Amino acid sequence: MKKILFVASEAVPFIKTGGLADVVGSLPKCFDKEYFDVRVMIPKYLCIKEEWRSQMTYVNHFYMDYLGQSRYVGILQYVYEGITFYFIDNESYFCGPKPYGDWYFDLEKFSFFCQAALSALPVIGFQPDVVHCHDWQTGLIPVYLKDRFRGGEFFCNMKSVITIHNLKFQGVWDVKTIQRFSGLPDYYFTPDKLEAYKDGNMLKGGIVYADAITTVSNTYAEEIKLPFYGEGLDGLMRARSGSLRGIVNGIDYDEFNPETDKYITQQYNAKNFRKEKVKNKKSLQEELGLPVDEKKFVVGIVSRLTDQKGFDLIQCVMDEMCTDDMQLVILGTGDEKYENMFRHYDWKYHDRVSANIYYSEPMSHKIYAGCDAFLMPSLFEPCGLSQLMALRYGTVPIVRETGGLKDTVQPYNEYESTGTGFSFANYNAHEMLGSLQYAKYIYYNKKREWNKIIDRAMATDYSWNTSAMKYQELYDWLIG
């Protein structure tokens, strides 16, 4: 049995701020259980809902020296859908209403988490062959495995993988601070190791020291070798390209299944969507106070409201977009400027725009099911899960051709009758508008064609099957 430990800062169903949680929570279930024992470790945040916290059981605790003090490290456990989740407890670090907040404190918090996570392994008696790290919050782990945790039998053969879900966030502060939090010697703070542009960089540590690096789509794996997408680390990505591969994300096909989804008004499938899907549109319109009109072209957005997601393009052409032959439904939270922009347009075009500035799992499902099209014009997108959810629900994605969006949405070709969505290449508001208008034209004027796009969208398979195999191959290769 090969033992794998996922270490990350979030995982569904316990705590989620974005797609990282979906991946860390759903991928472990999809490995071959005969050969792989995959477990997950995340912090025990105070903001994890009580319904989950109350079900965790105490495993053990110990004290660890960190920043000159002896600190409590509690270990809790919960087996969810056959997967063992471990939770690292320390109330002074994992407090607050959200997993992340203050940049500076987050660096201290996750440096602590990296050290506590590795120190906890001998205590619980789980000795993974591979520690699979995710994003900057766990970037110090591959470094520690080559450094202070190297000696002794327990850790000496442990391999590490780091998956980059978003290169934009790297865990950066001045060298002195990162050195203090990480407790690593001077040796590590040179430009070929944890130093980048004179600062300390935790993700860079992970990328330099991990035995393998993955990112969440093939296109993003190529893009990050270029200055535009490389966030200052494109040189390093080129240098490490031999150890870097793209493995596209999947989604949980049980959780996101229009045939069994309990959040939606009318369940449907690839055979009966022509008749049934529209019932979800009507109840969505009703619930959100939009005019109920089953013929109207309804476009949905479910997203963190940040620059990454292309909202400045939308802002640019919002007036042109909001014609009376369409409705736009937004669900998201994030940058105030975008929250307020959507609130403004909701006020201005109340019969066409519905801005829902909050986080809601049920509402997201209703939007994936009830809309005709799903808009995601990202500036960059390592993978993107929302468009995969839209495909699964037969809601036609309109995307910019970048990262995982390019790899998962095949553009409609009306002459060959192929494609699962609509896309545009340049980061340009009118190009986006052009795609949206083209989609709307097909929807209103070539309904049979539109339905065939849905047929093809719903026939795609972005469950974890194929990608979990690729991770298994990677683990096999690493373990040898």
Q: Which of 397, 366, 399, 207 is nearest to 288 (CA)?
A: 366
Tokens of 275: 């008749």
Residue 19 or 142 with smaller CB distance to ligand ADP: 19
Out of 143, 208, 221, 385, the only residue in the binding site for ligand GLC (CB under 6 A) is 385
State the minimum distance, in angstroms, from the CB of residue 212 to ligand GLC: 16
Asked if residue 384 binds ligand GLC (CB under 6 A), the reply is yes
Asked if residue 453 binds ligand GLC (CB under 6 A), the reply is no
Residue 11 or 216 with smaller CB distance to ligand GLC: 216
Task: Select the residue whose beta carbon is closest to ligand ADP and give its number.
Answer: 19
Three-class DSSP category at 79: strand
Identity of the amino acid at 73: V
Identity of the amino acid at 163: T
304 binds, among ligand GLC, ligand ADP, none (CB under 5 to 8 A by kind): ligand ADP
Q: Which of 257, 270, 252, 18 is nearest to 137 (CA)?
A: 18
Residue 224 or 389 with smaller CB distance to ligand ADP: 389
Which residue matches tokens 């995959």? 38
Out of 304, 343, 430, 470, the only residue in the binding site for ligand ADP (CB under 6 A) is 304
Residue 160 or 166 with smaller CB distance to ligand GLC: 166
331 binds, among ligand GLC, ligand ADP, none (CB under 5 to 8 A by kind): ligand ADP
Residue 109 or 165 with smaller CB distance to ligand ADP: 165
Asked if residue 391 binds ligand GLC (CB under 6 A), the reply is no
216 binds, among ligand GLC, ligand ADP, none (CB under 5 to 8 A by kind): ligand GLC
Residues 6+ apart with CB under 8 A from 102: none
**How far is the C-alpha of 131 from the C-alpha of 5, rounded, in Å?**
5
Out of 211, 261, 381, 407, the only residue in the binding site for ligand GLC (CB under 6 A) is 381
Tokens of 268: 């449907």
Out of 15, 42, 73, 216, the only residue in the binding site for ligand GLC (CB under 6 A) is 216
**How far is the C-alpha of 291 from the C-alpha of 276, rounded, in Å?**
19
Residue 26 or 266 with smaller CB distance to ligand GLC: 26
232 binds, among ligand GLC, ligand ADP, none (CB under 5 to 8 A by kind): none
364 binds, among ligand GLC, ligand ADP, none (CB under 5 to 8 A by kind): ligand ADP
Q: How far is CA 30 from the centre of its chain?
A: 17
Question: What is the torsion angle, in degrees rounded to the nearest 10, for the CA atoms of residue 360, residue 170, residue 240 and residue 158?
Answer: -80
State the minimum distance, in angstroms, from the CB of residue 166 to ligand GLC: 4
Asked if residue 302 binds ligand ADP (CB under 6 A), the reply is yes
Asked if residue 392 binds ligand GLC (CB under 6 A), the reply is no
Q: Which of 150, 148, 185, 168 is nearest to 64 (CA)?
A: 148
10 Å Cβ neighbour count for 295? 9
299 binds, among ligand GLC, ligand ADP, none (CB under 5 to 8 A by kind): none
**How far is the C-alpha of 64 from the C-alpha of 69, rounded, in Å?**
8
How would you class 334 by CB atoms within 10 Å of its CB: exposed for 0-12, middle for 13-18, buried for 19 or more?
middle
71 binds, among ligand ADP, ligand GLC, none (CB under 5 to 8 A by kind): none
State the minimum distance, in angstroms, from the CB of residue 198 to ligand GLC: 27
Buried b (16+ CB within 10 A) or exposed e, 81-117: eebbbbbbbbeebbeeeebbeeeeebbbbbbbbbbbb
Out of 11, 14, 19, 133, the only residue in the binding site for ligand GLC (CB under 6 A) is 19
Span of 151-159, 267-275, 378-386, 422-430 interacting with ligand ADP by CB under 6 A: 378-386
Q: H helices of 328-419, where?
A: 336-348, 361-370, 386-392, 403-408
Out of 4, 7, 11, 20, the only residue in the binding site for ligand GLC (CB under 6 A) is 20
Q: How many residues bind ligand GLC (CB under 6 A)?
A: 14
**How far is the C-alpha of 3 from the C-alpha of 37, rounded, in Å?**
5
Q: Which of 22, 71, 78 is nearest to 55 (CA)?
A: 78
| DSSP, res 104 | H
Determine the straight-line distance between the first and last CA of the chain, rounded to whole angstroms: 13
10 Å Cβ neighbour count for 180? 17
Asked if residue 382 binds ligand GLC (CB under 6 A), the reply is yes
Span of 13-21, 98-106, 251-259, 278-286 interacting with ligand GLC by CB under 6 A: 13-21
Residue 100 or 438 with smaller CB distance to ligand ADP: 100
Asked if residue 146 binds ligand ADP (CB under 6 A), the reply is no
Tokens of 179: 């050195």
10 Å Cβ neighbour count for 360? 14
Q: Which of 340, 281, 313 is nearest to 433 (CA)?
A: 313
Out of 165, 296, 392, 406, the only residue in the binding site for ligand GLC (CB under 6 A) is 165
Out of 9, 166, 354, 435, the only residue in the binding site for ligand GLC (CB under 6 A) is 166
**How far is the C-alpha of 306 from the C-alpha of 337, rounded, in Å?**
9
Contacts with ligand ADP, residue ranges (CB under 6 A): 18-20, 22, 302-304, 331-333, 359-361, 364, 383-386, 389
Contacts with ligand GLC, residue ranges (CB under 6 A): 18-20, 23, 165-166, 216, 249, 381-385, 404
